[in-house]
Amino acid sequence: MPTYLTQHQNRFLEELLDWLRIPSVSADPKFHGDVLRAADFIKDRLLEAGATLVELCPTAGNPIVYGEYMAGPDRPTVLVYGHYDVQPADPYELWTSPPFEPVIKNEKIYARGACDDKGQVYMHVKALEMMLRDGGLGAPCNIKFMFEGEEEIGSDNLGIFVKANKEKLQADVILISDTGILANDVPSIEVGLRGLSYHEVEVTGPNRDLHSGLYGGAVMNPINALCDMISSLHDENRHITIPGFYDNVADLGPAERAELAQAPFSAEAFTQSIGLPAAVGEAGYTTPERTSIRPTLDVNGIWGGYTGEGAKTVIASKAYAKISMR
Amino acid sequence: MPTYLTQHQNRFLEELLDWLRIPSVSADPKFHGDVLRAADFIKDRLLEAGATLVELCPTAGNPIVYGEYMAGPDRPTVLVYGHYDVQPADPYELWTSPPFEPVIKNEKIYARGACDDKGQVYMHVKALEMMLRDGGLGAPCNIKFMFEGEEEIGSDNLGIFVKANKEKLQADVILISDTGILANDVPSIEVGLRGLSYHEVEVTGPNRDLHSGLYGGAVMNPINALCDMISSLHDENRHITIPGFYDNVADLGPAERAELAQAPFSAEAFTQSIGLPAAVGEAGYTTPERTSIRPTLDVNGIWGGYTGEGAKTVIASKAYAKISMR
C-alpha cells in the first residue's frame, strides 16, 4: 500500500464513518437537511484532496457536487460519477446495528450507504488526495467529479444538469463505481444498466371503509382489485403483460448471450446467499440475463386495510402499491 | 313514549355515552383492561335495571356477562344476545370525530360501537329497567341476557360457554340485535347469518430485503407472489376457487330466492350510499343474495415492503395479508 495511504488510514476511516453517520435519505423529506449536509461534507473533502475547482451546483432538487483537477489540456479526461444520497433504512428492526451508526466487523463496514454509494465515492476522492498530496506522483489525467443527491429517487434533475453543462462535463471516459461485482474475488466491469420507472398506485373503492359482513361479496374490495391488477402484470412465464412494455428492449443475439454465459456466475452461491431454494423468473432466460438484459416489474411496497394486531373485518376504502420497472 | 323513558332519558343517554367512551377493542391486547371495564359496566347496568341474577362468567378469553329476570316458570323465555367488544378504530385519521369521544349530530350518535353493538345491548337492558322499575308493568316473560366480549375476534369461547351452560341458557326465543336493516324505515328480521373464518397469511421469500436493481427478475418477489395467490382465489365470475369451499353451502331454491327478492331493497340507494357506480360480485346472484346466502372472501388488510414517503427499490423479504371468509 502506498505510504500516504498507510500514514493517513485512520483519518480516512474516521472521515468515512462520519459521512456514513449522516442519514442522507433522499426519499423522505424529513431528512432533507441531512442530504444537504452530506453534499457539503463531500464538497469539503474534494477541496482538501486538492481539487482546483469545487462547486455545489443547485438544481430543482438536491444539489450536485462538481469538482475537478486539470492536469493539462493534452491529457485525457475521466469523469467520476457517484451519489451521496442513500435508500431509506426502514424497517429499522431488521438491522442488527443502527443504520447510521457504522460498525466494523471482519474488516467490513456496516452502515446504510457504506456500499451504495458513499464508500465508492469516498475511495475516488481519496485516490485524488493520494495523487496530489505530499509525495504524490500527481494526476496522470484530468479528473472531474459529479456527485448527485437524487440517485435513489430517480435522478430527475441529473439529465437537466448534464445538458446544461455539456462543456464542463466533457470527458473521454466516465467512471461509475455504483454497481455490483460477480463475487468479491471477481473484478467486474458493467457495460450497461437498466433504468428505473417508479410508480405509486392508489385504488379507490367505496367512499368509506365497509363492514365485510354487511357488504362483503357485493362490492369490489380495493385490496382484492389491486392484487388482481398486480397479478395480471405477469403471465405464467413471468413475462410482463403491459402492452408495448418490451417494444424498445434490445434482444441480445446468441453470440452476446454466449459471452454473458461465460461470466463466472455461481447459481448455487446466488441462491444460497439469499436463502432461497431456487431462482425464478422469466422463462427462457438465465439468472444473469434476468437481472441484466431483461426488464422487470416488482412491487416494492403494498398497503391497505387493517394491519394492526388481531382481526378487523373491514373492506378498506383504498389500497396502495409502489411499483418499479427496470 | 312511556313516562319512565322520558323522565330518565338524559341519564340513559349519559350512561350510554360513558359506555361508548370505553375503547373495548378485543382485537388488540393493549385494550384488554378496557374490554374488562366494558363488561363490568354492562353488568352493573343489568343489576340496576332489576335483573335478579347477574354474573361475570370467566372464559379462556374475555368474560361473558350473564343476567336474568325470571317472571315465572310458566312464562316463555327470551334469551337476548349481544356483545360489548368493538372493532379496532384505526385508521384514526379517517374519523371526523374521535372514535371514543361520542358526539351527537342530527340525533345520531357517532362513536365506535354505537351501532355495533353497545347501542343495541343497552336498549335491551333499558327495556328491562323500564318494565321493572317504578310504574313499570313488569316483565311478561322470563328474560336472559348473554353478552360476550369476543364477537369481533371470532367468538372462540362462546361455543364452549354455551355447551357448558345448556340449562341456564335454555330459552324459547333468542333475540339478537346485531344485524342490519334494509333501510331506516324498513323493520327487518334476519333469519340467518354467515359465519367468519379469519386468517393472517405470511409469505416469506429471500432471507433479507434485496435491491430490486441487482435481484429484480431473478427471485420471486413475496409481494407479487402474495398478489398472485390472492388473485387466484377468485375466478372471472368472482366465484371462489378454493377446492371444497362451497361443499357445505346450502343452495337456495327458486321459491326461497323469489321470497328474498321481495324484500324492499334499492340497488340505487345501496350504491349511492357507498359512492360506487355499481355493485359487483359473484355472477348469477343479486346484491342481497351476495351479501347473505353466498359465501365471500375479502382481504381485510395487506402490507409488505416500503410504505413510507417516496421511492425505495426494495424486494421485501416478507409480505402479509389478513383474509376473511364468510
What is the reported pLDDT for A94? 82
Q: Which residues contact A297 (CB under 8 A, 6 or more apart)?
A: A233, A234, A240, A242, A323, A324, A325
Chain B residues 142-181 within an 8 A CB cutoff of chain A: 152-154, 180
Same domain? B213 vs B156: no
Per the structure block, which three cell numbers stand in for B8?
A: 330518565
- Please list the alpha-helical segments (H only) found in chain A: 3-20, 32-49, 118-132, 158-164, 166-169, 212-215, 222-231, 254-261, 267-274, 287-290
Summarize pLDDT for A226-263 with one digit per residue, the tens. 999 999 999 999 999 999 999 999 889 999 999 989 98
Same domain? B211 vs B139: no
Structural domain contains residue B185? no
Strand partners, A320: A202, A303
Mean pLDDT of B287-300: 95
Structural domain contains residue B182? no
Same domain? B133 vs B46: yes
Q: Is A265 on the interface with B (CB under 8 A)?
A: no
Mean pLDDT of A175-200: 85
Given a cut of 80, is residue A183 above it in pLDDT? no
What is the reported pLDDT for A116? 94
Residues of chain A in contact with residue B326, where contact means CB-CB under 8 angstroms, are 212-213, 216-217
Scored b (16 or more CB within 10 A) or e, B290-319 reads bbbbbbbbbbbbbbbbbbeebbbbbbbbbb
- Domain stops at, among A131, A146, A176: A176
Active site residues per annotation of A? 85, 151
Same domain? B171 vs B253: no
Q: What is the mean pLDDT of chain B?
A: 94
Summarize pLDDT for B272-289 with one digit per residue, the tens. 999 999 999 999 999 999
* Minimal-distance CA residue of chain B relative to A224: B299
For CA atoms A212, A217, A218, A224, the dihedral sign is positive
Strand partners, A173: A78
Per the structure block, which three cell numbers stand in for A265?
A: 456466475
User: Which of B88, B205, B314 is closest, CB to CB, to A308?
Assistant: B88
User: Which of A153, A214, A276 is closest, CB to CB, to B311?
Assistant: A153
Query: What percent of chain B has pLDDT above 70?
Result: 100
Interchain contact, B218 vs A27, CB within 8 Å? no
Q: Is A198 on the interface with B (CB under 8 A)?
A: yes
- Domain stops at, among B176, B207, B232: B176
Chain B residues 272-311 within an 8 A CB cutoff of chain A: 274-276, 279-282, 287, 290-291, 294-296, 298-311
Q: What is the mean pLDDT of chain A?
A: 94
A91 upstream amide cis, omega within 30 of 0? yes
Interchain contact, A306 vs B90, CB within 8 Å? yes
What is the reported pLDDT for B45? 97
Strand, coil or helix: what is B293? coil
Scored b (16 or more CB within 10 A) or e, B45-59 reads bbeebbbeebeebeb
Residue A315 dihedral angles phi and psi, to the nearest 5°: -100, 110
Distance CA B227, CA A224 (A): 8
Same domain? A224 vs A256: yes
User: Which of A230, A312, A320 is closest, CB to CB, to B88?
Assistant: A312
The answer to whether B168 and B66 have CB atoms below 8 angstroms apart is yes
Same domain? B10 vs B150: yes
User: Which of A206, A276, A306 is closest, CB to CB, to B205?
Assistant: A276
Structural domain contains residue B192? no
ipTM of the complex, rounded to two decimals: 0.79
Mean pLDDT of A187-191: 82
What is the reported pLDDT for A134? 77
- Domain stops at, among B111, B145, B176: B176
Distances (CA, A) of A225 to A221, A315, B181, B233, B289: 6, 12, 28, 12, 21
Structural domain contains residue A26? yes
User: Which of B214, B287, B300 is closest, CB to CB, to A218?
Assistant: B287
Summarize pLDDT for B67-97 with one digit per residue, the tens. 999 999 999 999 999 999 999 998 888 899 9
Domain count, chain B: 2
Interchain contact, A275 vs B207, CB within 8 Å? yes
Instruction: Give the best residue of B25, B87, B201, B219 to mutate against chain A (max A CB count within 10 A).
Output: B219
The answer to whether A300 and B306 have CB atoms below 8 angstroms apart is yes
Alpha carbon of B161: minimum distance to chain A alpha carbons (Å): 22
Per the structure block, which three cell numbers stand in for A139?
A: 494526476
Given a cut of 70, is residue A1 above it in pLDDT? no
B117 upstream amide cis, omega within 30 of 0? yes
Strand partners, B82: B147
Distance CA A303, CA A321 (A): 6
Given a cut of 70, is residue B1 above it in pLDDT? no
The answer to whether A24 and A86 have CB atoms below 8 angstroms apart is yes
Same domain? B320 vs B276: yes
Structural domain contains residue A162? yes
Summarize pLDDT for B123-147 with one digit per residue, the tens. 999 999 999 987 788 899 999 999 9
Summarize pLDDT for A94-134 with one digit per residue, the tens. 899 999 999 999 999 999 999 999 999 999 999 999 999 87
**What is the residue range of B266's domain?**
197-325
Distance CA A41, CA A46 (A): 9
Same domain? B165 vs B206: no
Structural domain contains residue A213? yes
Alpha carbon of B313: minimum distance to chain A alpha carbons (Å): 6
Interchain contact, B217 vs A316, CB within 8 Å? no
Summarize pLDDT for A285-322 with one digit per residue, the tens. 999 999 999 999 999 999 999 999 888 889 999 999 99
Same domain? A134 vs A283: no
* Minimal-distance CA residue of chain B relative to A204: B276
Q: Report the alpha-carbon angle B25-B30-B32, nearest 5.
A: 60
Instruction: Give the best residue of B302, B317, B325, B326 to mutate against chain A (max A CB count within 10 A).
Output: B302
Mean pLDDT of B156-171: 97
CATH code of A66's domain: 3.40.630.10
Amino acid at A27: A
Q: Is B151 a catalytic residue?
A: yes
Distance CA A184, CA B135 (A): 90
User: Which of A27, A208, A281 is closest, CB to CB, to B310?
Assistant: A27
The answer to whether A122 and A45 have CB atoms below 8 angstroms apart is yes
Structural domain contains residue A182? no
Structural domain contains residue A181? no
Sheet containing A64-69: give its strands across.
A53-57, A64-69, A142-148, A77-83, A173-176
Specify the DSSP element, H or E, that contains A29: none
Alpha carbon of B150: minimum distance to chain A alpha carbons (Å): 11
Distance CA A24, CA A9 (A): 24
Summarize pLDDT for B202-211 with one digit per residue, the tens. 999 999 999 9
Residue B16 dihedral angles phi and psi, to the nearest 5°: -60, -45
Chain B residues 199-228 within an 8 A CB cutoff of chain A: 205-221, 223-224, 226-228
Closest CA to B157 of B64, B87, B85: B64
CATH code of B264's domain: 3.30.70.360
What is the reported pLDDT for A311? 87
Mean pLDDT of B180-208: 87
What angle, rounded to 10 degrees, do the helices at B3-20 and B118-132 form?
150
DSSP string, B177-241: --S--SBTTB----------EEEEEEEE-SSS-EEHHHHTTTS--HHHHHHHHHHTTB-TTS-B-
The answer to whether A298 and A323 have CB atoms below 8 angstroms apart is yes
Same domain? A141 vs A277: no
Same domain? B211 vs B313: yes
Interchain contact, A296 vs B220, CB within 8 Å? no
Same domain? A157 vs A217: no
Chain A residues 5-44 within an 8 A CB cutoff of chain B: 26-30
Summarize pLDDT for B11-60 with one digit per residue, the tens. 999 999 999 999 999 999 999 999 999 999 999 999 999 999 999 999 99
Cβ-based neighbour number of residue A72 at 10 Å: 8
Alpha carbon of A268: minimum distance to chain B alpha carbons (Å): 13
Residues of chain B in contact with residue A315, where contact means CB-CB under 8 angstroms, are 298, 300
